[in-house]
Chains A and B, each alone.
Chain A
Amino acid sequence: MLQGVDLDVPAGEVTMLLGRNGAGKTTTLRTIMGLWKLRQGRIGFAGQELGGMGPSAIARAGIGYVPEEMGIFGDLTVAENMRLGARTRRMRQDRIDWLTAAFPALGTFWHRPAGTLSGGQKQMLSLARVMVEPRQLYLIDEPTKGLAPAVVSVLVGALRQLKSEGATILMVEQNFAVAKALGQNAAVMDDGRTVWSGRMAELAGDAGLQDRLMGLHLEGHR
């Protein structure tokens, strides 16, 4: 159960959502996406109130979501999964070229059922599907979780490119090295509320603050 979250995601920047397990990071993303019902408070996005909207309406409003559990469709091919991500049902060739360059495995297995891909490739597909056309906001939930370092560097490379496009990203990440490399802003959550928010550089440069917020001393911060 989430309570008291107070989070601002600046446009055109990457905001990393940090915090210990069970702090409410994934719940926050799922609630923004409408997958879990908002009971109190409000979620504003580009002048709209998302609170009463369903997931499909929120997605059509321009929010792309990459779930934690590699939300691909295993029975469909890589190409079909990608096509599902395009709201117009037509993928732009330059976008496909860009994504298959960023994730070469996807080009190789383009007509294979997505269920036959490795865990890392599934995560690449999940990310590529949401990147197949520009979104106003990307919600990305722990994309590097449990993946090999080589795969993580591919994903980070692709996310860097997305960031360079000026995309607005809210990303949950447990790997602080990845968070530091990508994030411009950071918000730390604990027990369903944002306990700290600010520039990533400030958090990255203050070991004491990191220890206090993400170590075992969060109780002292309340």
Chain B
Amino acid sequence: MTAPRSWLLIAVVAVILAALAAAPFLFPGVRAMDTAARICVFIVLAASYDLMLGYAGIVSFAHVMFFGMGAYGVALASVHLGREAPGLILGAGAGMAVAVVLAALIGLFSLRVRAIFFAMITLAVASAVAVLVSQLSGLTGGEDGLSFQIPRALSPSAAYLPDPLPGLDPAALPGVVFGDAPMESLFSEVRANGKLAAYYLVFASMLVLLALMRRLTVSPFGTVLQAIRENEFRAEAIGYRVVRYRIAVTCISAGIAALAGALYAVWLRYVGPDTVLGFPIMVDLLLMVVIGGMGTVWGAVIGVTLFMLARGYLQDLMAAAQGAVAADLPALAVLLEPDRWLMWLGLLFILSVYFFPAGIAGRLKSGR
């Protein structure tokens, strides 16, 4: 009686995680490393959101608010306690504690009744907190946000090795294979500085939190959550206190979202309402979870990676495609105008939801 596994899903996730692990050495440049770090942070955020949405069937619009609490916790700690690590850890812990307490309060008041009330209350609370953060400019920097310093060991000025490390530049491969670019252009240099250390801090934290969430979902606790999602009355009749489980998962999810926010703040060295609290982030998060596949932690890995890459590189891809077809197919070239990237992004999402209603991970899991 051994459990079957979806090797295709495992392979896709393994490739993504391996690419993220080697990102600074495989994809040179500040922009690529920034995209990889954002992917790591949003994998944690999306997976924690999926704990609620996909595993427990709880719709929340306050998840980004919890994310923002962790981010502001780090920022405020840096501003008031200094840039050193203990202060930032304290700030992240405080942000997480506030998120957990607020999640428990919202849950206690609204999870006893129908799920729609919880969704409405989270929407109201998230809007109120966003307004509050904008208004309390003395504390939070208001709309301008807060720029702050992080430990020197994580700042770009910290150098760990005198010589750069060797890296690869896959973008140069076509030029080497098909053109007459020199072989040396395949290699790049990676500076072993604090930025690289910050990236690996974000990456390692993502791995640890992802493993933790994976463990949680395959534990008896995760099984009960899925049972509640399917039929709460049935779960109650077997002996499970549905409200307690719902509140527990809401608190765990909020706590992990706050930690993701803390990592994001460390990476950006800036927090602002639009960056860590904005409602558009919540919409993006929903899309990432839906595209990746709900009810599987790996869905978050796939959904976030696709979303972030499409968002970051679709415009570049369209410019290249437009250049390629401009002479022969001028009508298509007009459609591929890089400024129309949002339209294509929307179209891609509609198609992915249409063809993969259970998400990409769901489709890979079923092996069809």
B226 touches A67 (CB 8 A): no
Interface 0/1 of A50-89, CB less than 8 Å to B:
0000111001100001010001011111011001110101
Are the CB atoms of A59 and B226 closer together than 8 Å?
A: no
Q: Of B2, B231, B240, which is within 8 A of A71 by CB?
A: B231
Interface centre among B1, B223, B238, B242 (most CB of A within 10 A): B238
Smallest CB-CB A-B distances: 10 pairs:
A59-B239, A110-B1, A89-B220, A55-B236, A111-B3, A55-B237, A60-B239, A73-B227, A73-B230, A80-B223
- Provide 30 A-B residue pairs closer than 8 Å at the C-beta atoms, listed in order of the A residue: A33-B237, A35-B237, A54-B236, A55-B233, A55-B236, A56-B237, A56-B238, A56-B240, A56-B241, A56-B242, A59-B239, A67-B234, A73-B227, A73-B234, A74-B230, A75-B230, A76-B223, A76-B230, A77-B3, A80-B223, A80-B226, A83-B223, A84-B227, A84-B235, A87-B239, A89-B220, A110-B1, A111-B1, A111-B3, A129-B238
A56 contacts B239, C-beta separation under 8 Å = yes
Q: Report the Cα distance A56→B230, complex, angstroms.
A: 16
Contact between A83 and B220, CB atoms less than 8 A apart: yes
Which of these, A67, A74, A80, A87, contacts B237 with CB under 8 Å?
A67
**Contact A79–B239 (Cβ < 8 Å):** no
Q: DSSP class of B's interface residues: helix, strand, loop or mixed?
A: helix
Which chain A residue shows the least CB distance to B228? Answer: A73
For the complex, give the distance between the alpha carbons of A79 and B236 in Å.
19
Interface residues on B, range: 20 to 34
The docked-state distance in angstroms from the alpha carbon of A79 to that of B227 is 13
Are the CB atoms of A56 and B231 closer together than 8 Å? Answer: no
A56-B242, A59-B239, A80-B226 known, 16 other contacts, Cβ within 8 Å: A54-B236, A56-B238, A56-B240, A59-B237, A59-B238, A65-B237, A67-B234, A71-B237, A73-B227, A73-B230, A73-B235, A75-B226, A83-B223, A84-B235, A84-B240, A111-B1
Determine the distance from Cα of A87 to Cα of B239 in the docked complex, in whole angstroms.
Answer: 8
Does B1 contact A35, Cβ atoms closer than 8 Å? no
User: Nearest chain-A residue to B234 (Cβ)?
Assistant: A71
Determine the distance from Cα of A76 to Cα of B174 in the docked complex, in whole angstroms: 47
Min distance, Cβ B58 to any Cβ of chain A, angstroms: 16
Interface string of B293-304 (1 = CB under 8 A from A): 001000000000
Enumerate chain A residues within 8 angstroms of B226, measured Cβ to Cβ: 73, 75-76, 80
